[in-house]
Amino acid sequence: MNRWTRRAFIGAGTVAGGGFLLGVAGFTFAPGRHSLVSADAAAKGQLTTWITISPDNTVTILIPHCEMGQGSQTALAMMTADELDADWSLVRVQEAPALDAYANGYIVRAAGGHYVPAILGRGVDYGAYKVAEWFGFQVTGGSTAVRSTGEYGMRVAGAAAKEMLIAAAASQWRVSASECVAKRSAVSHAASGRSAPFGELARSAAAQRVPTSPTLKRADSFTIRRTSPVRLDIPSKVDGSAKYAIDFTTPGLLYAAIEIAPVYGGTLVSVDTAPADAMRGVKKVVKLPEAVAVVADSFWRARRALAALKPEFSDAGHGEVSTASIFAAFDKALGAPPGVPSNAAKAVTADYRVPFLAHATMEPMVCTAKVDGDRAEVWTGVQDPLNARSVAAKALGIDSANVRVTNFMLGGGFGRRLPFTFDYVDLAVRIARAMSPAPVKTIWTRENDIQHDYYRGAALSRHAGALDGTGVPLAALSTYTGGGNGEAVFMPYAIAEMNAREKKVEHPIRLGQWRSVLNSQHGFFKESFIDEMAHAAGKDPFEFRRGLLGHQPRFKAALEKAAMMASWGTPLPPGEGRGIAICESFGTIAAEVVHAAVSPEGRLKVLNVYAAVDCGDVVSLDGATAQVEGGIIFALSAALLSEITIAQGRIVQKNFRDYPMIHIADAPAVVTEFLRSDAPLGGLGEPCVPPLAPALANAIFAASGVRVRELPIRNTPLKRA
Amino acid sequence: MAITLTVNGTDHTVDLEPEMPLLWVLREALGLTGTKYGCGISACGACTVHLNGRAVRSCTLPLSAVDGQRVTTIEGLGSGGALHKLQQAWIAHQVPQCGYCQSGVIMAVAGLLAQNPHPTDREIDAEISNVCRCGTFVRMRAAIRDAAAAAEGATS
């Protein structure tokens, strides 16, 4: 990190009205050349984080990440303001516009630079440093905002701005800068008793030499970090004033409802538009290669007219695909379980399976577009407005520079609004082109959303383990389908022989990134299996794991903490049980204990969840806690209920009735504690998802003796034999 | 067909199809976008408003059913520029994440508290079936308890 901050490029200037403006560059890469910052970054305005201090003493922080409820805009502002020693009550936050200048290059530096978030795997070949395309991203995903943009951009900007304000005060007062201190948005000099607010110093601070290597605070002198200020976006979310893409309006706005080929890859064969043409408010029926849209003067009228049509679509040759055919192919590819060592006293084998899942963000996909000649304007909600801009430009065959994207608060993301998944932008701009120059808002119905997602992949995993005569594990081996990577399959345990091998199986279901990505499947596989090995060894599942973690102090500490929080080992009434699981993802270790009850009739009630989380350090304590709670509830809903199935190449589920979610009645109490380690900051949006399903399955086994090896859990009868 | 309804204390006459759901009348004809579309089949509760003081899901409620009736949306929940006690509790407990479902949740709970100022956990569970994908249920329950306690303080 030090090397990076020294080489970071910082630029400063004044703004209208005598304020102060300071930014820090991310990085740029050119093919064949690897450097952190391009020589002409300043000329190009390639500064990704910005601080503006106005004469009235307000501090405005421009943040290159969207807000989808994860609270990272607030956390990033806290990191900046802490280094700046600003008065938190004077800090304002703005989301950066979708311009190249705000591409957030820091993301790739997270986790020591050896790990590129899977969401960007298709855009970045980090091994070869071929990241020319990378510079087109302004992504929010991979739990990276705080640990990359925050650590490598926002903190440096805050610290540099503070040094310049102090230098300005020192020069004005003719004292040494080392005798001046900044505190609560003012610089003071104790010996002379002088003090000046940042706002008064801003203009002359902008003329100071820009420090290229500002000193960052030590953790023990943080004043804003580790506290729990109110999240800046919350007041607007309790009175209906928060604006999402679906709320955008503009004079002359038209509305589009769409029907997309039900089998992915299918095309529109024919449609008689007459029934819709005559209906009230209908402006036009727009035929696209893969969809038909009705544009009307209200969304309800568009949708009603669309329902009157009977479009025919081709099935792209996938009309025979079903959930059963996909799992049969998985099973065939895996073949026999991995062979275990010949000296094993006991062998354990198990298959685990997980379904396709939809994201089902509460706000469905929405995009408004206005196309006028070779220019376009787009209003939407995405996790990467720069990629959305290039998708719109490509769909229209125009230059990206001619497309303006305005991003709104997201009504949930969870990976559905990541780059490479902007079909809703692509469709919306083509519909708008057909109505040019009228602005058209294309709203996906919940049915569109559930049936045309980029799904979390289904997967089957086949495990074999071996124990010696005393219950010591000798091997934990698996083969799996459905995708994986080193992080997802990693088991921290000291077992002599461990490996997980992927068997590739192609299928035509469109896949994407779902909160916690491949860890969501593999967390369930590996932490269910180690539990089965513990029981096969006749040992307590917590003690069994702990005994294998002597070489992994962070894992061991988190596991022990979760067990202690849950009073692991104390007696429970009959029909109740505790289950434990631990996973590392996105640089964070999360250990969870689930306390559940299974009635004699097989009714499951999840009572409590205890989470011990080591993400290095916590920036916004309450915001971080909310992410842990949210990750657990999100994972619980999926573990209990969620399943996308395929019949005749089509997605079977349509809406919340057949793709149900848990309600407040099903939500357990959640207790969260953070362990502060010296590890680099880890992510928080995702890491608490993976351990939940295995901890719950393990708790069900403890409570009922029924081993759940398939998600969702509702597919397994829990009635005790 | 002209239909007259009172929304947040203001009378509106609209000439729209009687079967158009109230949700779209509020959002597109009256510009009140705090009420959200989530499913269109009364399954998720994002569109919850009050009809004559009772919580209803507006995505399946035809305009004809509200002729001459009194509708309250999230924008009209507070009174005299002050936030409703539930909105205050929602801020105090930092309930919303993405926030999209929260208008509907707050309206559903306000409807419950209007009928039953001190609901038990079981009554909350039975009455509140809104979907929240961010998983804010833990904080919702804490905020509801606080708001119910505040109501008790106010009436005693």
Q: Indicate the residue of B87, B98, B102 with minimum beta-carbon distance to A68.
A: B98
pLDDT for residue A399: 93
Least confident window among A39-48, A608-617, A638-647, B135-144: A39-48
Q: Report the chain B residue with the minimal C-alpha distance to residue A247.
A: B33
Average pLDDT over residues A373-377: 97
Q: Which of A74, A98, A68, A95 is nearest to A410 (CA)?
A: A68
> What is the rounded CA–CA span in Å between residue A560 and residue A677?
14
**What residues of B are in contact with residue A236 (Cβ under 8 Å)?**
99
Q: Indicate the residue of A237, A630, A632 with minimum beta-carbon distance to B99.
A: A237
Interface probe with B: pick from A362, A446, A607, most Cβ of B within 10 Å: A362
Decide: A96 and A76 in contact? Cβ < 8 Å: no
Kindly report, residue by residue over A620-636, the tens digit of the pLDDT.
899 999 999 999 999 99
**Residue A668, C-beta contacts closer than 8 angstroms, at least 6 positions apart:** A594, A595, A606, A607, A608, A609, A636
Asked if A663 lies within 8 A of B99 by C-beta distance, the reply is: no
Look over chain A and give the mean of its residue pLDDT values, rounded to a whole number.
87
Q: How many CB atoms lie within 10 A of CB A127?
A: 8
B81 reaches A (C-beta below 8 A): no
Kindly report, residue by residue over B31-78, the tens digit of the pLDDT.
999 999 999 999 999 999 999 999 999 999 999 999 999 999 999 998
Decide: A296 and A302 in contact? Cβ < 8 Å: yes
> What is the rounded CA–CA span in Å between residue A698 and residue A526?
12
End-to-end CA distance of chain B: 48
Q: How many CB atoms lie within 10 A of CB B154?
A: 9
Please return the burial class of A198, using the count of CB atoms within 10 Å of its CB with bins 0-12, 13-18 and 19+.
buried
> What is the rounded CA–CA span in Å between residue A691 and residue A488?
12
Confidence label for A386 from pLDDT (cuts 50, 70 and 90): confident
Kindly report, residue by residue over A557-584, the tens digit of the pLDDT.
999 999 999 999 999 999 999 999 999 9
Q: ipTM exceeding 0.90?
A: yes
- Residues 29-88 on A with a CB inside 8 Å of B are 68-71
Kindly report, residue by residue over B84-104, the tens digit of the pLDDT.
999 999 999 999 999 999 999
> What is the rounded CA–CA span in Å between residue A530 and residue A498?
12
> What is the rounded CA–CA span in Å between residue A432 and residue A258?
13
CATH class, B85-155 region: mainly alpha
**What residues of B are in contact with residue A360 (Cβ under 8 Å)?**
133
Element (DSSP H or E) covering residue A359:
none
> What is the rounded CA–CA span in Å between residue A285 and residue A11?
51
A230 reaches B (C-beta below 8 A): yes
pLDDT for residue B52: 97
Q: Indicate the residue of B34, B136, B140 with minimum beta-carbon distance to A240.
A: B34
> What is the rounded CA–CA span in Å between residue A415 and residue A413?
5
Element (DSSP H or E) covering residue A626:
helix A621-641
**What residues of A are in contact with residue B136 (Cβ under 8 Å)?**
626, 629-630, 633
Task: Using DSSP bridges, classify how beta strands A588-598 and A604-614 pair: parallel, antiparallel or unpaired.
Answer: antiparallel
Q: How many CB atoms lie within 10 A of CB A489?
A: 21
Kindly report, residue by residue over A539-551, the tens digit of the pLDDT.
999 999 999 999 9
Rounded to a whole number, what is the distance in Å from the CA of A152 to chain B's nearest CA?
25
Look over chain B and give the mean of its residue pLDDT values, rounded to a whole number.
94
Least confident window among A32-41, A194-203, A297-306: A32-41
Q: How many CB atoms lie within 10 A of CB A458?
A: 26
Average pLDDT over residues A678-693: 90
Phi, psi (5° rounding) for residue A719?
-60, 130
pLDDT for residue A8: 41
Decide: B2 and B13 in contact? Cβ < 8 Å: yes
A16 reaches B (C-beta below 8 A): no
Asked if A298 lies within 8 A of B24 by C-beta distance, the reply is: yes
Q: Indicate the residue of B27, B37, B102 with minimum beta-carbon distance to A237.
A: B102
3-class secondary-structure state, position A17? coil
pLDDT for residue A43: 43
Fold of the A528-715 domain: Aldehyde Oxidoreductase; domain 4 (3.30.365)
Q: Indicate the residue of A249, A363, A634 with minimum beta-carbon distance to B135.
A: A634
Beta strands in A209-305 (DSSP E): 254-260, 268-270, 282-288, 291-296
Average pLDDT over residues A401-423: 91
Q: Which of A223, A163, A173 is nearest to A196 (CA)?
A: A173
Is A245-315+365-443 a CATH 3.30.365.10 domain?
yes
Q: A with B: how many residue pairs have Cβ under 8 Å apart?
A: 184
Element (DSSP H or E) covering residue A106:
none
CATH-assigned architecture of domain B2-76:
Roll (3.10)
Decide: B68 and A273 in contact? Cβ < 8 Å: no
Each domain of chain B, given as residue ranges in start order, spans: 2-76, 85-155
Largest CA distance in chain A: 85
Q: Report the chain A residue with the minimal C-alpha distance to residue B131.
A: A663
3-class secondary-structure state, position B59? coil
Decide: A676 and A617 in contact? Cβ < 8 Å: yes
Tallying the residues shown for chain A, one arrives at 721
Does A268 score more than 60 pLDDT?
yes
Asked if B40 lies within 8 A of A631 by C-beta distance, the reply is: no
Rounded to a whole number, what is the distance in Å from the CA of A624 to chain B's nearest CA?
11
- Residues 297-326 on A with a CB inside 8 Å of B are 298-301
Q: Is the peptide bond before A712 cis (omega within 30 degrees of 0)?
A: yes
A624 reaches B (C-beta below 8 A): no
Please return the burial class of A263, using the count of CB atoms within 10 Å of its CB with bins 0-12, 13-18 and 19+.
buried
Q: Which of B144, B94, B102, B139 is nearest to B123 (CA)?
A: B144
Decide: A528 and A697 in contact? Cβ < 8 Å: yes
**What residues of B are in contact with residue A637 (Cβ under 8 Å)?**
133, 135
**What residues of B are in contact with residue A254 (Cβ under 8 Å)?**
none
**What residues of B are in contact with residue A656 (Cβ under 8 Å)?**
38-39, 41, 43-44, 131
Fold of the A2-231 domain: Aldehyde Oxidoreductase; domain 4 (3.30.365)
Asked if B135 lies within 8 A of A68 by C-beta distance, the reply is: no
Confidence label for A128 from pLDDT (cuts 50, 70 and 90): very low
Decide: A235 and A93 in contact? Cβ < 8 Å: no
DSSP class of A280: T
Task: Using DSSP bridges, classify how beta strands A473-480 and B2-7 pair: parallel, antiparallel or unpaired.
Answer: unpaired
Element (DSSP H or E) covering residue A51:
strand A49-53
- Residues 251-270 on A with a CB inside 8 Å of B are 255
Long-range contacts of A563-570 (CB under 8 A, 24+ apart): A563/A591, A563/A593, A565/A593, A565/A610, A565/A612, A565/A671, A565/A673, A566/A593, A566/A595, A566/A608, A566/A610, A568/A542, A568/A593, A569/A540, A569/A542
> What is the rounded CA–CA span in Å between residue A442 and residue A111?
38
Interface probe with A: pick from B58, B133, B144, most Cβ of A within 10 Å: B133
Instruction: Give the CB-side neighbour count of residue A153, counting CA atoms within 13 A.
Output: 37
3-class secondary-structure state, position A250? coil
The DSSP bridge partners found for residue A596 are A577, A606
DSSP class of A495: -
Q: Indicate the residue of A246, A637, A664 with minimum beta-carbon distance to B141.
A: A664
Confidence label for A22 from pLDDT (cuts 50, 70 and 90): low
Does A232 score more than 60 pLDDT?
yes
pTM: 0.90
Rounded to a whole number, what is the distance in Å from the CA of A668 to chain B's nearest CA?
7
Q: Report the chain A residue with the minimal C-alpha distance to residue B144.
A: A664
Decide: A255 and A440 in contact? Cβ < 8 Å: yes
**What residue ranges of chain A are covered by domains with CATH 3.30.365.10?**
2-231, 245-315+365-443, 528-715
